[in-house]
Amino acid sequence: MDPKIDTTDGRILAAIDLGSNSFHLGIARAIAGDIQPMHRLKQRVQLAEDSDDDGNLCPAAIDRGLECLKQFSQRLSEMQFDQIRIVATYALRQAPNRYQFIEQARAILDHPIEVIPGREEARLIFHGVCQNQVVEQQTLVIDIGGGSTELIIGQGHTPIELESLSMGCVSFQSRFFPEGKLSSKRMKRAILAAEQQLELLQQRYLRTGFQAAIGCSGTIKAIALLLNDGDLSAPIHRQSLQQLARQIGDCDHVDQLPFEQLAELRRKVLPSGLAILLACFRQLEIEQMQYSEFALREGVLSELANQQSHLDIQARTIHSLQQRYQLDTRHSARIQASAQQLYRQFEVGKKRLERWLEYAAALHEIGLQVNYRGIHKHGEYILSNANLSGFNTEEQCLLAFLVRWQRKKLTGCPSPQLQMLSNSQLWPLLIALRLSIMLHLGRRHHIVLPQLQQQAKTLTLTFSAQLSDDDLLVADLEQEQQHLAELGWKLQWQ
């Protein structure tokens, strides 16, 4: 840290990006909702290297990653931070054994690790690029990582198209250039494989259109340095990329590459990254591209500086789903109000968690678009597989969980593996939602909400009016009493 930097004027923020190729640490000061970068640190870890066919991280990669985080932790301990956010991308998204790494990483950093979906990564990348330059016209942004490539078209601060493809410089290196072997034939196969993946979005992106292209990531930076004699402000041209691909293809091994200015690990993945970038230029008809130093790390820092904007993005995502699936928003608002009122009477009710009742209530009937029978199961499927802008993987899992178990039997209800809240905090959320939905079954909105008292795992509902004349409500309560007993909770009323 530069001791001359005055850190008294704004909050000090830190962001860590656990990429498939490199880990990045960014430290910035928040000033009026914007970020002032103060320090950057990058270490090549190649977390995705030597993953097995199922995507499991290999022990050596896990050890490299944890050793890097120990160094980051030491750097973070040198000063006080107001907020820290840690996001993980493709390698941990795909790895079935990711919790083996996440649990140890969290112990080192003492903060939760957010695994973010591909399109959420793309959104944050675009947001980060916009912190460094004004995107006045529709612009294509490409970030080639170790395991995935993100492609975004946007203008101003608004992304228009977001996509994440499962191709990266580490995964392609293992697939097409094992042990550093090179040839023109290998290069052509790698380019063709990338072009095949780009076919999935080619026509959509060309129809949307863009007038400029920006590349970010270590791969594109290395290529820009090579092609323009170290001048990162000069554009990358398609013709220069093709010449570089031919030059690399004429070699037999990466050790023969003449690019001594590149670190050994970067030289190793240069051919695969170049193949992906050249395929992007060809398929998306790009003639030239500028380089940006800002990317995911800066996007995360920016949202830390203005957390309300992140919550606004989540709220807009929920509202968009309500409109797309034509949901009854007035009924959902009643469910939300009742659920939050009941939840506040639990012993562990936390204000910060109430938004999950808002989101779950808003979308609890989303499964109707499939079929009324099994509405909760259909809702879980939709929310588990939808692209939810502003939500990380764990948040999406929580939302899908609440919608799945909103009603009916609780037999087999799992205890999800979450970092953001404990089971003692999760069950009150779910029970408050279930009770609210039960009380409003059939659009039953005339019942005065009961008072709730909790004693350990016993809940007592006190109604202001006699229930003897409402046989249907009593029957619903008796049924819910049986369901909650499956979780070990006792429900009674008076």
Whether the per-residue pLDDT at 8 is higher than 60: the answer is: no
Which CATH code is given to the segment(s) 12-116? 3.30.420.40
- Give the chain's largest Cα–Cα span: 87
- Indicate the pLDDT class of residue 32, thresholds 50, 70 and 90: confident
User: Residue 5: its pLDDT value, please?
Assistant: 39
What is the pLDDT at residue 333?
Answer: 96
Which pLDDT score, from 0 to 100, does residue 446 have?
A: 82
Q: Which residue has the higher pLDDT, 80 or 463?
A: 463
Give the DSSP H or E segment for 436. helix 423-439
pLDDT at 436 over 90: yes
What's the pTM? 0.90
Residues 327-346: what's their mean pLDDT? 96
- CA 194/CA 214 separation, integer angstroms: 19
Tens of pLDDT, residues 35-85: 888 999 999 998 988 888 888 999 999 999 999 999 999 989 888 888 999
Going by C-alpha positions, the residue among 435, 427, 453 that lies closest to residue 350 is: 427
Alpha carbons 435 and 336: distance in angstroms, whole number: 11
- Segment 110-122 shows an average pLDDT of 95
- Strand 22-31 and strand 34-44: the pairing is antiparallel
Tell me whether domains 12-116 and 307-447 share a fold.
no
Residue 351 has pLDDT above 90, yes or no: no
CATH code given to domain 307-447: 1.10.3210.10
The pLDDT value recorded for residue 493 is 95
pLDDT value at residue 306? 86
The predicted model gives 215-225 an average pLDDT of 94
Least confident span in 139-143, 145-149, 349-353: 349-353
Statement: residue 321 has pLDDT above 50: yes
pLDDT at position 240? 97
At residue 293 the predicted structure's pLDDT band, cuts being 50, 70 and 90, is: very high
Q: For the chain, give the mean pLDDT.
A: 93
Domain boundaries, the chain: 12-116, 119-297, 307-447
Class of domain 119-297: alpha beta
Kindly list the strands in the beta sheet with 490-493, ordered across the sheet, starting from the edge strand earlier in the chain: 451-455, 458-462, 490-493
Q: Which amino acid belongs to residue 213?
A: A
